Amino acid sequence: MSVLLIAEHDNSKLKPFTLNAITAASKINGDVHVLVAGANCENVTKEVASVPLVKKVLWCDSPNYQNYLPENLAPLVTKTAEKYDHIVASANTFGKNFMPRVAAALDISQVSDIIKVSSPDTFIRPIYAGNAFATVKSNDKKKCVTIRPTSFDPAEKTGGSAQIEKIEAVNVPNTSKFIKREETKSERPELGTARIVVSGGRGLESGENFKLITDIADKLNAAVGASRAAVDAGYISNDHQVGQTGKVVVPDLYIAVGISGAIQHLAGMKESKIIVAINKDGEAPIFSVADYGLEADLFKALPEFLAELNKLNTIQK
């Protein structure tokens, strides 16, 4: 039987991590069906239908699904799941919120945050903040699985033409109400999906000094990250935090400046393709995961770094 994937979107556009989840779903079973539940979200259904890996789009349009309240969304997913063997979503704050409700309703033990599909019932998932990898086999008949988006490549966006089927909304309990969403506005790319991330730690010594980080981020079109220590010290707001209790990032280039490399920070960035560490303490644990380490005073190195970057003719976008 097929895989049912729940799309994440804002009612007008598909969220990019859904494409990564589609890739993962297609590794479980090639017959990937995507549920788009929302309010006036026809554009999203068209976007999903054009993804070549998607075989069918299920479209449920109702004001009850506008803000993805899990009390409303989970009963719809649970009912739709009747015809499927696997129910799949991204392991971000969207998928984590509703999927366990679906699993509980179906009496399924959920497999969370997988990074690899070994077979349709066997998966690899990180435990202990990524300090160990567990291979697990689900013995439930149906499986609820959430996927770490950064561990799978995004699916191709265009070229497909899947059939779009409208489905009926189900009753909602009316026990929860959406009030507002305050999205962090930034001219820079989003931390979770940026190609380059420049992060600062306690070594920056103040919030004002984070300008050294943001100047380089702007030059590189990079997102700005931070260690828990820098956030706790009030240098920068907590939505920039990379680590076990913040965001897990997997950019092509991660530049850690004035970050010692606590276990909790490494858990959030050590899968990055290239890691650069700039730190004046040559013994700092961050150097053990860095491809390129520069033992230097950041207050001297960062202005030099910016000057060197300015000398380059082109920087990849």
Binding flag, residue 133, other proteins (CB under 8 A): yes
Closest CA to 13 of 46, 35, 50, 52: 46
Q: Strand 196-200 and strand 143-147: pairing?
A: unpaired
Q: Long-range contacts of range 57-61, CB-CB < 8 Å, 24 or more positions apart? A: 57/33, 57/162, 57/163, 57/164, 57/165, 58/4, 58/33, 58/34, 58/165, 58/167, 59/164, 59/165, 59/166, 59/167, 60/35, 60/36, 60/166, 60/167, 60/168, 60/169, 61/37, 61/166, 61/169
Q: Which two tokens mark 299?
A: 């207050």
C-alpha closest to that of 36 among 175, 169, 219? 169
Residue 152 touching other proteins (CB under 8 A): no
Out of 38, 130, 201, 225, name the contact with other proteins by CB under 8 A. 130
**Subset of residues 6 to 45 that bind other proteins, contact rule: CB under 8 A:** none
What minimum distance in Å lies between the beta carbon of 182 and other proteins? 5
Asked whether position 119 contacts other proteins by CB under 8 A, the answer is: no
Q: Is 63 in the site for other proteins (CB under 8 A)?
A: no
From 37, 194, 217, 275, residue interacting with other proteins (rule: CB under 8 A): 275
**With binding defined as CB under 8 A, does residue 270 bind other proteins?**
yes
Least CB distance to other proteins at residue 3 (A) = 19
Site size with other proteins, rule: CB under 8 A: 89
- What is the smallest separation between the CB atom of 69 and other proteins, expressed in angstroms? 7
d(Cα 167, Cα 53) in Å, to the nearest integer? Answer: 21
**39 or 263: whose CB is closer to other proteins?**
263
Should residue 69 be labelled a site residue for other proteins when binding is judged by CB under 8 A?
yes
156 binds other proteins (CB under 8 A): no
Cβ count near 292 (within 10 Å): 12
Could you give the CA distance from residue 155 to residue 6 in angstroms, rounded to a whole number? 15
Residues 233-262 that bind other proteins (CB under 8 A): 238-239, 244-245, 247, 252-253
Q: Which 157-216 positions form the footprint of other proteins (CB under 8 A)?
A: 173, 175-184, 192, 196
In the complex with other proteins, the residue whose CB is nearer, 68 or 210, is 68
Q: How far is the CB of 120 from other proteins (least distance, A)?
A: 14
For 189, residues 6+ apart whose C-beta sits below 8 A from its C-beta are 195, 221, 222, 223
Cβ nearer to other proteins, comparing 164 with 170:
170
SS3 19: helix
Residues 286-315 that bind other proteins (CB under 8 A): 287-296, 301, 304-305, 308-309, 312, 315
